[in-house]
């Protein structure tokens, strides 16, 4: 465990498991370790040679020392230790196992040549072993760097927003260093970068004070550079590796605070990463910067698409309102002009008909404006539901009283039940739903039709039906009947000016805001049934 986080964090295909390479690279900076390894191997070779010190086994002892020199090259990084261990192996073999014992003097003239050959073989073989080990370490480093960059790229491609991208970058840096990583991002005001969260190798995000309380409370974006630094804040030194995350347009000056998106601070001494690991950390940040740029570009395109859609809706609304409101306004102004100029020439019945026409058109205009305002508030989220517990039968009767004058001979019946149907609703909005549905039934049925309103309980919901025996809704219209600006193909010519396609859309928005659903079905033998549900309110009985 290092820096408070577990190093053994493993996933399939994660090259971060290659900690052997990391350990061997770290030992390059400790000469004492290399010296101890060399001495230990030579001591072990001497012990093995003492066990093999029998007549006829002298060549075996020589091979043991050569093997010890090769192991020394494998576990150390400097050629100096290969040279010294080779010379020491020859000297120890001569001193301990060649007659005269415990002396470096030579009796046999063939010994110098043998010792020279032993020295050359030990030095060459250890040099080859060291070269192979260095090549292996470089290959492992390159493979580790490639795999981690690819893994980071795959993680970033799966990120849906900027927060997930930062999470992926910080997690990879924590895996690389084995230390927590703190994310600093820009403040709303000024160029201060404030700590937002701390990430570890397992990918979790925690408050800064839990894992990295020693980190600075803020950084200055205007004075920041993307190299390891020792920053001082309030008289206290904060050590770490600070990596700047910038915009990726390629034309931003490094001193421009607007270019700094944030800073990833590795909570560790600046020398905890090797040069290769620091290069890898920079590559991870570069991949993250590209992903952030892509995310920002995607968000910009989505915003542009939303603006274009809103503009199209606005154009459709203006076009519909301009066409559909002009006719009733023209009728109102024409009827008013006739009453004003020809009042004495008209009979009482004619004047009443003109007044009724003006009244009906004005009511339709008022209802249309109310629907426009209501649907805007509901879909923009600016409306607040004023919920109260109400009897659904009373709400139905209240809504029916508002539209009774518009029935024009149509029969309206309410089917009551013996159950107490209590709902928690915004009375004004649900009355508007009922009013729109009843007026819609009036609009699309002949004058001798019957409109039936009923309510019942089904499980945890109250189901309300507004049924008529008119021509019904065509099957091709049912999937779109609750869409904004949609009008049914069954609209009667005389009433074709009476709809701009907002009433049913408003009903759906209000019902869904209450947690219910609305749908249209066929009424048998003919007609349509508009059904919506509302959550039932439980009745508490106190004994």
Give yes or no for a contact between 67 and 89, defined as CB atoms under 8 angstroms apart. Answer: no
Pair of tokens at residue 212: 């990295």
Residue tagged 């607040």 (tokens): 384
Is a pLDDT exceeding 90 seen at residue 102?
no
Give yes or no for a contact between 284 and 169, defined as CB atoms under 8 angstroms apart. Answer: yes
Give yes or no for a contact between 147 and 15, defined as CB atoms under 8 angstroms apart. Answer: yes
Predicted pLDDT of residue 72 = 78
Is a pLDDT exceeding 50 seen at residue 494?
no
Predicted pLDDT of residue 229 = 40
Across the range 97-115, mean pLDDT stands at 67
Predicted pLDDT of residue 443 = 84
Is a pLDDT exceeding 90 seen at residue 467?
yes
Is a pLDDT exceeding 70 seen at residue 459?
yes
Is a pLDDT exceeding 70 seen at residue 516?
yes
More confident residue, 225 or 72: 72
Predicted pLDDT of residue 20 = 36
Is a pLDDT exceeding 50 seen at residue 352?
yes
Residue tagged 């032993």 (tokens): 118
Residue tagged 């020589």 (tokens): 62
Distance between CA 29 and CA 24 in Å, rounded? 10
Q: Where are the beta strands (DSSP E) in 416-496?
A: 422-425, 450-458, 461-468
Distance between CA 268 and CA 240 in Å, rounded? 5
Across the range 462-469, mean pLDDT stands at 93
Residue 504 pLDDT class (50, 70, 90 cuts)? confident
Ranges 59-63, 242-246, 486-490: which has the least confidence: 486-490
Ranges 22-36, 72-86, 255-269, 429-443: which has the least confidence: 22-36
Distance between CA 396 and CA 52 in Å, rounded? 107
Predicted pLDDT of residue 191 = 65
Across the range 97-110, mean pLDDT stands at 68
Predicted pLDDT of residue 230 = 41
Predicted pLDDT of residue 533 = 95
Residue 252 pLDDT class (50, 70, 90 cuts)? very low
Pair of tokens at residue 71: 């192991």
Is a pLDDT exceeding 60 seen at residue 412?
yes
Question: Could you give the percent of the chain with pLDDT greater than 70?
Answer: 74
Ranges 157-161, 231-235, 302-306, 355-359: which has the least confidence: 231-235
Is a pLDDT exceeding 60 seen at residue 108?
no
How high is the mean pLDDT of the chain? 76
Closest CA to 506 of 475, 485, 527: 485
Angle of helix 79-97 relative to helix 31-51, nearest 10 degrees, comes to: 30
Residue 236 pLDDT class (50, 70, 90 cuts)? very low
Which residue pairs, CB below 8 angstroms and at least 24 apart, start in 150-158? Answer: 151/13, 151/14, 151/15, 152/283, 152/284, 152/287, 152/288, 153/287, 156/287, 156/288, 156/290, 156/291, 157/291
Predicted pLDDT of residue 2 = 35
Can you give the pTM of this predicted structure? 0.46
Residue 453 pLDDT class (50, 70, 90 cuts)? very high
DSSP annotation of 217 reads: S
Predicted pLDDT of residue 243 = 84
Pair of tokens at residue 499: 């709809």
Pair of tokens at residue 355: 């007044």
Is a pLDDT exceeding 50 seen at residue 235?
no
Predicted pLDDT of residue 224 = 52
Predicted pLDDT of residue 409 = 80
Is a pLDDT exceeding 50 seen at residue 5?
no
- DSSP line for 148-181: HHHHHHHHHHT--SHHHHHHHHHHHHHHHHSS-E
Q: In sequence order, which ranges of 381-522 are alpha helices (DSSP H)?
A: 392-403, 427-443, 503-513
Ranges 17-21, 97-101, 120-124, 538-542: which has the least confidence: 17-21
Residue 7 pLDDT class (50, 70, 90 cuts)? very low
Q: Which tens digits make up the pLDDT trace of 31-55?
A: 787 788 888 888 998 898 888 887 7
């Amino acid at each position: 465990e290092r820096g408070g986080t577990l190093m053994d964090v493993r996933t399939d295909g994660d090259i971060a498991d290659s900690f052997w390479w990391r350990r061997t690279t770290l030992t390059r900076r400790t000469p004492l370790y290399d010296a101890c390894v060399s001495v230990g191997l030579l001591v072990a070779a001497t012990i093995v040679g003492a066990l093999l010190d029998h007549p006829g086994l002298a060549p075996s002892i020589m091979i043991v020392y050569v093997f010890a020199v090769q192991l020394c090259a494998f576990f150390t990084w400097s050629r100096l230790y290969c040279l010294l261990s080779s010379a020491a192996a020859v000297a120890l073999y001569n001193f301990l196992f060649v007659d005269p014992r415990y002396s470096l003097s030579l009796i046999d003239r063939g010994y110098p040549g043998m010792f020279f050959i032993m020295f050359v073989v030990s030095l060459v073989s250890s040099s080859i072993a060291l070269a192979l080990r260095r090549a292996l370490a470089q290959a492992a480093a390159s493979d580790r760097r490639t795999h981690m960059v690819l893994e980071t790229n795959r993680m970033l491609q799966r990120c849906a927003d900027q927060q997930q991208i930062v999470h992926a970058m910080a997690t990879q840096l924590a895996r690389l260093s084995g230390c927590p990583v703190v994310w600093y991002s820009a403040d709303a005001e000024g160029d201060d970068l404030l700590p937002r969260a701390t990430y570890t190798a397992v990918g979790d995000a925690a408050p800064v004070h839990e894992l990295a309380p020693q980190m600075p409370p803020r950084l200055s974006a205007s004075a920041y550079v993307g190299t390891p630094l020792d920053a001082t804040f309030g008289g206290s030194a904060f050590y770490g590796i600070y990596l700047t995350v910038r915009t990726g347009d390629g034309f931003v000056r490094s001193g421009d605070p607007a270019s700094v998106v944030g800073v990833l601070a590795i909570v560790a001494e600046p020398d905890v990463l090797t040069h290769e690991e620091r290069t890898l950390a920079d590559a991870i940040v570069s991949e993250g910067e590209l992903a952030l740029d892509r995310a920002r570009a995607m968000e910009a395109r989505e915003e542009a698409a939303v603006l274009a859609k809103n503009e199209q809706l606005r154009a459709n609304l203006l076009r519909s309102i301009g066409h559909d409101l002009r006719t009733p306004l023209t009728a109102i102004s024409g009827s008013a002009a006739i009453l004003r100029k020809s009042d004495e020439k008209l009979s009482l019945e004619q004047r009443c008909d003109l007044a009724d026409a003006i009244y009906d058109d004005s009511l339709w205009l008022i209802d249309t404006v109310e629907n426009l305002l209501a649907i805007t508030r509901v879909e923009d989220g600016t409306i607040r539901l004023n919920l109260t517990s109400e009897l659904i039968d009373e709400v139905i009767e209240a809504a029916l009283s508002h539209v009774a004058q518009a029935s024009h001979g149509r029969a309206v019946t309410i089917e009551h039940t013996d159950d107490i149907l209590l709902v928690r609703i915004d009375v004004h909005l649900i009355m508007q739903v009922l009013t729109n549905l009843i007026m819609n039934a009036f609009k699309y049925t002949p004058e001798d039709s019957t409109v039936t309103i009923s309510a019942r309980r089904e499980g945890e919901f109250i189901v309300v039906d507004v049924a008529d025996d008119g021509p019904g809704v065509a099957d091709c219209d049912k999937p779109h009947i609750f869409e904004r600006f949609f009008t049914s193909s069954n609209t009667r010519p005389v009433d074709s000016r009476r709809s701009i396609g907002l009433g049913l859309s408003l009903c759906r928005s209000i019902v869904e805001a209450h947690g219910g659903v609305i749908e249209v079905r066929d009424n048998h033998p003919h007609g349509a049934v508009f059904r919506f549900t509302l959550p039932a309110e439980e009745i508490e009985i106190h004994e």
